Chains A and B, each alone.
Chain A
């Protein structure tokens, strides 16, 4: 019971009190120590050392709980205080706050809009699937790189019957025409194996899906499942639809089930309305021996990894089965089984084939561009905050003088900027709702029903708001630190001249950053606009203006080739007779719609460039009729075009492009030479045409051949009609001609060929539109920001300028000096931006139609625009300053 041990406990307690918040400690620390001493005394008196131990056992948790609770209270209290104060300050400066919120809203809105579209196209998961993480697209790869996704039905059956670690399904897209009496409607269909629904993991909303037995025998089970949306649209959600029979492509099918709501197939951007058993292929899709053919790759393969297995195990098993299949399969197995031996499982991208990766790159680029707008907006607001920090120096100095801690001040100022950015973020999200609605209304020139719903979802909202708050913190921090760095004496004197070196350095950095970001933005949008312009000017080698076009597949309505041929001849005669029509033709594929047909050919005497390719070679082709060259004004440079005499029974002929002729018969005339088509048909060259870009505007013309429709007949054709006037004026007349021949055919869509081919420019059009809008917003923001910062820094120097003028400087000199300083910042920013832009725009090269990413024109123009904006932005405030009366200026504080 020595006094020393008492004081030891007390000393420890006093030390522990330091864990309490400072305010609480100041107020109650002494009292608590006293009370502890009282308790200590009491404990010693009644229970000795054990009493002291028991007291400590109660004291430690008591201190901990108190400390925690007080900190929590303080924090909420301070946060509430900060928020209330920030709101008051922001309300007191409605102009400042309004402009800042608007600027941020533009920036966040830009990102949010682009992200919404990207989200809708690339990121949004396929709806209604269970455990989608187990579902994979199966593709075969080869050692040399690249992959192959289209497979034959025998291969699918080989895998499906043997694979144990993964359940395999296959599907194919088929265009459908459905009718239940009266005019038909067009629909998009999928031929699927019965396992498809299990692999995808969906349950029917109504009725049932196919059984394995119903998918076993070809042509035996005319049954279909329809999408929930199709059910609502075509059958008004009538539950009696199960068991109803409908005509699909001329054949009677029974509806047995309805898919769950929102499920529209594995490529959500392409809406599927109807699913039919794969074994019903012959009824719905051309190709008499597709189901047996080991050569034709026409199916997409997907799989669900079995529970307890992994993708690695499953792909190893599939690779082994593929090897086994390649070694046992009968004759005629295509070469690619020798090459593509490995199997890779990829997560479904929502896009067919390999289009996923470029689309993703495309959107990443656009999101980055929109990020630049946000960067410019944020820099704007940061410099506004910085300027206001100077204006508020007196207030801040007073608060420091009254004992406010710097950390607390910074927190207060940060709360203000985060609040501004949160408000701007919310407004920006509202803007993006408007913008995406507008984007959603843009009609797409595509014949597949694309379903893209760009309305922002929860993911977009969260990302946008988080982005706004993060930028608020990031761009509020520097101004807040700067503002709270108080030089009390000068600030309290009310001397606002100058602003300290650190402050002006930060301000200059902001200007430079802004100019740099603007330059990148302007350069990007300039490049896309140039690419679009170039794309529109590109000469494909023929004339697509003044042509009306109409896709028509009477095969879908049950026509056999004899009836279809008669129908096509009757229709072309009717259309030719229409007023204003100059010439008419049929073609199987429209030019400039990203599609070509490929044929394997063998040219006698040709051994390939490297000699390794053997005699077989690949050539792109178009199947056209005798009027095609005339309608498209595609000149025959040698020989003749097709004639009506080149019919199914006549000797097989072809017209080839100049490059085709040069490749195989260099130095001599191609006319009269023969080659083998698909290793069976012998074809004689009768004509040579000019080289063309057939599928895409940015393709390099390669060897190309034309085959006559009459010798390669199919019922799905496109009608082309050249007219003197507006091709769309022909639409009702052509439709009427179709109706007159067969009123039960679906209403065909007649559009101008220019519109039909605008899909070739779709990415550029979209990118040019988006980046040009973003570029305009960014430029305006940057100009305003530049003006604001320069005007402010010049206003700060009013007294200095007054002194100069009082000492005899001429107004012109002053203006030159000030403008010069402003422009210096612009040039530094431009230089930084130029370097970054030159590196970054390289990624855009695939979308630029050969416009050089370092396109000098674009960059010079961007520099000129920025320089001009900088000039104006610094000249206006400079002139105002130079006109100031020196006496007023000198009194200016």
Chain B
């Protein structure tokens, strides 16, 4: 029984950001918070509870999976648990990206930007 990726759309922004980060490379918790903060210009800062709550849900849904503990060079070789994207997770993220692309390309969004956006 393969799950239909469409059943997971739309994703919450945080979920999408996590999937996006994991699409680039497997990550540990701290790595994810850094990557997401960077991608959102510091607008999204994930605290541990919030992050692992979402990770738990993504694992339960089968979009990501734990990828074991590895030593992290930047953290003085301390060991951290890594997560990676599953195939389903990749499909869902791609589908969500398509959805957002279509949304952003819509005339409504363009009109909005023209009228209220920063020059």
Contacts and interface: CB of A to CB of B under 8 A. Distances in A.
Interface in A37-75: 38-39, 58-59, 62-63, 65-67, 69-70
B49 A34 contact: no
B47 A59 contact: yes
A76 interface: no
B56 interface: yes
A24 B50 CA distance: 12
Q: At the interface, is chain A mostly helix, strand, loop or mixed?
A: helix
Interface in A14-43: 20, 24, 27-28, 31-36, 38-39
Contacts of A36: 48
Contact of B53 (A58, A59, A70): A70
B5 interface: no
Nearest to A38: B30
Given A32-B48, A34-B78, A59-B48, A69 B33 contact: no
A70 B81 CA distance: 21
Contacts of B29: 31-32, 34-35, 38
Contact of A27 (B45, B50, B56): B56
Q: At the interface, is chain B mostly helix, strand, loop or mixed?
A: helix
B112 interface: no
B58 interface: no
Contacts of A66: 49-50, 52-53
A62 B50 contact: yes
A35 B30 contact: yes
Contact of A58 (B30, B45, B81): B45
Given A58-B47, A62-B47, A32 B52 contact: yes
Interface string B31-58: 0010000000000010111111101100
Contacts, number: 54
Nearest to B52: A28
Residue of A28, A36, A63 contacting most chain B CB atoms (<10 Å): A28
B75 A38 contact: yes
Interface in B53-91: 53, 55-56, 75, 78, 80-81
Report, as a range, how many residues of chain A touch the other chain. Answer: 20 to 34
Contacts of B75: 38
Contacts of B56: 24, 27-28
Nearest to B83: A31
Contacts of A63: 49
A380 to B, nearest CB: 43
Residue of A32, A34, A58, A69 contacting most chain B CB atoms (<10 Å): A34
Given A39-B30, A58-B45, A31 B50 contact: no
A821 to B, nearest CB: 55
Nearest to B75: A38
Residue of B29, B49, B50 contacting most chain A CB atoms (<10 Å): B49
A277 B6 CA distance: 75
Contacts of A59: 47-48
Nearest to B59: A27
Contacts of B48: 31-33, 35-36, 39, 59, 62
B87 to A, nearest CB: 23
A856 to B, nearest CB: 71
Residue of A31, A59, A66 contacting most chain B CB atoms (<10 Å): A31
A614 B55 CA distance: 97
A27 B29 CA distance: 14
A36 to B, nearest CB: 5
Interface in A863-887: none
B30 A69 contact: no
B103 to A, nearest CB: 28
A36 B30 CA distance: 9
A6 to B, nearest CB: 13
The list of the 6 closest CB pairs from A to B, nearest first, reads: A66-B49, A62-B47, A38-B30, A32-B48, A35-B29, A28-B52
Given A31-B48, A34-B80, 18 more contacts: A20-B49, A27-B56, A28-B55, A31-B29, A31-B81, A32-B52, A33-B48, A34-B78, A35-B30, A36-B48, A38-B33, A39-B30, A62-B50, A63-B49, A66-B50, A66-B52, A66-B53, A69-B53
23 contacts: A20-B49, A24-B56, A27-B56, A28-B56, A31-B29, A31-B52, A31-B80, A31-B81, A32-B48, A32-B49, A34-B29, A35-B29, A35-B30, A35-B51, A38-B30, A38-B75, A39-B33, A39-B48, A58-B45, A62-B50, A66-B50, A66-B52, A70-B53
